[in-house]
Amino acid sequence: MPDLFSEFRIKSVTLRNRIAVSPMCQYSATDGMVNDWHLVHLGALARGGSGLIVAEATGVSPEGRITPGCTGLWNDAQAEGWRPIIRFIEEHGAVPGIQIAHAGRKGSAARPWEGDCHLAIDDSQAWQPVGPSPIAFGGILPRVPHEMTLQEIARVRADFVAAAQRARDVGFKWLTLHFAHGYLAQSFFSPLANQRTDDYGGSFENRARFILETLAAVREVWPDHLPLTARVGVLDYVEGEQPMEESIELIRRMKAAGLDFIDVSMGFNTPDVSRVPWGEHAFLAPIAQRIGREVGLPTATSWNINDPVKTDELIRTGQIDLAMIARALLSDPHWPYHAAQALGRELPQNVLPPPYAFWLKR
C-alpha cells in the first residue's frame, strides 16, 4: 500500500506525494485578477513540498464569484495572470491545479472579514445572485436568487467550458469543478435549493442534469491526458437532503461522463451546520472510501485533516488516495516536512528545495 509520501499517478500527471492543497479562497483579487498575494501564498505551498496545489474557487463569470475579491477566469488577462504562479509551482516540483466555480445564490457576498453577508443591493460591487429556484439560502445570505432560464443555464455551461479552456491554455495540469458547498451546481442537485418543474428539477435525473451536462461539456475541451476532477457535496447533515444513494449514483454517472477523480465534500445548502461532526479528524474519510469503492474512482477528501500519523494511515489503509489539506497547510506550508519528522521518516529528497534542505539538514 502507498503511504503519505508515495507518488500518485493519474493520467499523464505524477504527484510527488499524497499531500494536496485543498482550494482555499483568498478573497484578495481585484476584478478577478490574481496578484503578488496569490504568487506568494501558492508559491509558499509549492516550496513547502505538497504534491498538488489546487488554486481557489475561481469564478467562470463575474456573477459566478462568491465575493468581489474572488479570482476569475472569464477573460484572457485573468488567465495570463496565473502564468508566473503556474511556473513557480512547477519549478518547485508541485502540480498546479485550479477549481472553477459559479457561486449561484451564495454569490454577491462581502469578504468573510468584512461581514460574510450578502452585499447591499445598492452596493456598487453587488450583483443579482442566480439559482435554480427563487429560494434564498437564508441566514446571512438572505437575497432571493433570480430563477435561471434555460438560456442562462446554457450560458453558465459555456462559461465553464471557456474557463476550462483558459486554464488549459495557461498550463494548469489539474482541473477541479466546484460542485459542492451549496454553490450553483450543487444547488441544482439539492432538493433543498431546487424546486424547478422543468428538465432541471424534480427527479434525480433532472437535478443531476446541470452537473452532468457541465461536466460533459468541459470534458470536450479539457485534454484527455489530464485529470478532470470534481469536488462534490455528497451530504448536508440536514433533513431534506438527497439520500446518499443518489449522491453515489451521481458520481457514477459523472465517471461515465469523463470524471477521473472525486474529491468528496459537503453540501452546505443551508446555514444549519450544527450536525456536522467538525471535531473528528477526517470525518468524511469513511464516506469517501465507500464512494471510491462503489464507483471505482480514485478519491480524496478534505475537512479536519491535520494529524500526520492519522493522515498517513488514511492513505496506507486505502481509505483515500490523496489528502486534501487546507488550514493545516495555511498555518504551516512546511507541513510535509514536519509530517515526515512526526512519522520518523527520512525526509524524501523532493520535499524541501535545496536552499532549505541545505540549512535544515545541517
Task: Give the active site residues.
Answer: 183
Dmax over CA atoms of the chain, in Å, equals 67
Residue closer to ligand 8OZ, measured from CB, 66 or 291: 66
CB of 31 to ligand 8OZ, least distance (A): 19
CB of 351 to ligand 8OZ, least distance (A): 27
Residue 25 in contact with ligand 8OZ, rule: CB under 6 A? yes
**Binders in 53-72 for ligand 8OZ, by CB under 6 A:** 57, 66
The x, y and z cell numbers of residue 68, run together, are: 468581489
Residue closer to ligand 8OZ, measured from CB, 74 or 268: 268
**Binders in 157-186 for ligand 8OZ, by CB under 6 A:** 181
The x, y and z cell numbers of residue 264, run together, are: 468528496
Whole-angstrom Cα distance, residue 232 to residue 251?
8
Residue 162's alpha-carbon distances to 44, 52, 116, in angstroms, are: 29, 23, 29
- Tell me if residue 229 falls in helix, strand or coil: strand
Residue 15 in contact with ligand 8OZ, rule: CB under 6 A? no
- Of 88, 268, 335, 337, which one interacts with ligand 8OZ (CB under 6 A)? 268
CB of 102 to ligand 8OZ, least distance (A): 11
Q: Which residue is nearest to ligand 8OZ (CB)?
A: 57
Q: Do β-strands 13-15 and 8-10 pair in parallel, antiparallel, or remain unpaired?
A: antiparallel
Are residues 59 and 101 in contact, defined by beta-carbon separation less than 8 angstroms?
A: yes
Task: Name the nearest CA neighbour of 17 among 55, 58, 48.
Answer: 48
Residue closer to ligand 8OZ, measured from CB, 278 or 358: 278
CA atoms within 13 A on the CB side of 2: 20
CB of 211 to ligand 8OZ, least distance (A): 16
Chain residues binding ligand 8OZ by CB under 6 A are 25, 57, 66, 181, 268
